[in-house]
Chains A and B, each alone.
Chain A
Amino acid sequence: MENYLSLFETYDVPAAFWVNIQLSFWAALWALALGTVLALFRISPIPSLQWFGAAYVNIFRNTPLTIILAFGFLGLFSVMQISLASELNVSLFRIAIVGLALYHAAFVCEAIRSGVNTVPLGQAEAARAIGLSFLPAARLIILPQAFRGAIAPLGNVLIALIKNSTVAAAGSVAAEASGLMKTMIEFRSDLVFPIFLTFALGFVILVIPVGLLTTWASRKLAVAR
């Protein structure tokens, strides 16, 4: 037990989880913005935008995240020499956020589209009848109701995103939790199972409140029809 506690003196476990939280936070914001735009594309009356939205979702949803993040490092950073900050590690951190956001935007788009499906057709027809064109109708009538119907699936995407933030190690963000776990196992091979359990528990603690909150919010905010 003393052995196990000494781990926390040598390795800063909370700091590693903090990196995952930051990754998840920024990636979630970008993914939400991009996903909403994509969802608009998919429900828009313009065929080329519909096609683009569908193509984006199919490509990014079906590409493994590890490959996207490894491409961020090997392709964008190493070969194309794209840098998003003067400091190397900040740059790699931002590239990882871009990768995570691009990937999860596809899932956000589909979650919002499922929310749009909860809005009765009459709402769109009524919006049209009072003279609103597509964008104002979407902004004022469809999306506000769609978001309230999409809270639970959006929460699922956020939960997946938090856990997927560990894949950022493939994009060189080694300060995050799974990277620290590797270091700890390398140096403390005598405590492999306690180390595994620590990190598993850490993620459970991070994720459970998200699940509870979204379940509560989806009930509270559901559109009563």
Chain B
Amino acid sequence: MQKTRYAAAAVAAVAALTLSACGGGGESADSGSSGEAGGGESLRIGIKFDQPGLGYDEGGSYSGFDVDVAKYVANELGVTEENIEFVEAPSANRENLLSNNQVDMIFATYSITDTRKQTVDFAGPYFVAGQDLLVPTDSDITGPEDLEGKNLCSVTGSTSAQKIKDQYPGVQLVEQPGYAECVTAMGGGQIDAVTTDDIILAGLAAQEANAGKFKVVGNTFSEENYGVGLPKGSDRCEDINAAITKMIEDGAWEEAITSNTEGADYTFNAELNPPTPAPCA
């Protein structure tokens, strides 16, 4: 009898937790929409938590270029830094987070593509990245043409991995769950190069543990327009574009890039950057 009572209590407790979790979710969704109507008090922003130099979780505080742009834009929208709630937005979840209204906007190396435009809206771009290579400092690889027969690492299911498969079939491609694993393997010497967008590579190379070991080749072979992901039909696009333009004009944009890639021997592609935000749909 005693046992049954404990079991019943446990079930009740679990049920209560589940129910309150639901309630919590509902509330925050409400406050998000009321924020939208009233000019904005708090914002839930989706960022990457695992990409040094772009969106990186440093035990509760967040750093990186995406985070800096997000904070600047939020500030222009009238939301102070304390009122931003950063939410992890892994690549595969970004569309879902937006269409389920779990976040208000996403700054997470989010390339603007036509397929994605069918399910979400984009503001920006705020940066034009390009696929590039990260190689050991003493490597003589200068571009994708030199990769024939070499071991290249990228992330499973990423655009960068697919591009290599389609255009450079002679390359031996290793796919890993994350770029950190790729860089570790390259440190061990079994991998000759890591590929993805140049600014992501710069962020990896700028990490303290990797300082001086790797260099970004600087020969980009694609164009990725990083935009701000918004739920379909959002009315924030114009304001965000204005904020991005202002950030570029007052120099905060360039400062954010330089400070987040410090130590990586990286310069952004000046022909394409800074970009002009595209008109909102």
Contact = CB atoms under 8 A, between A and B. Distances in A.
Contacts of A74: 181, 184-185
A186 B157 contact: yes
Given A74-B184, A182-B156, A188 B115 contact: yes
Nearest to B177: A170
Interface string A137-178: 000000000000000000000000000000001101010000
Main secondary structure of the interface of A (DSSP, over half): helix
B119 interface: yes
Contacts of B161: 174, 183
B46 to A, nearest CB: 14
Contacts of A185: 92, 157
A89 B176 CA distance: 12
Contacts of B119: 189-190
Contact of A186 (B91, B173, B174, B188): B91
B172 A190 contact: no
Contact of A78 (B91, B162, B184): B184
A48 B188 CA distance: 37
A187 B160 CA distance: 11
Interface of B: 91-92, 94-96, 115-116, 118-119, 151, 156-159, 161-162, 172-177, 181, 184-185, 187-191
28 contacts: A70-B177, A70-B181, A74-B181, A74-B184, A74-B185, A77-B190, A78-B189, A78-B190, A79-B188, A81-B190, A88-B151, A89-B172, A92-B174, A169-B156, A169-B177, A172-B176, A174-B156, A174-B157, A174-B161, A179-B157, A179-B175, A185-B92, A186-B92, A187-B162, A189-B94, A189-B115, A189-B116, A192-B95
Interface of A: 70, 73-74, 77-79, 81, 87-89, 92, 169-170, 172, 174, 179-190, 192
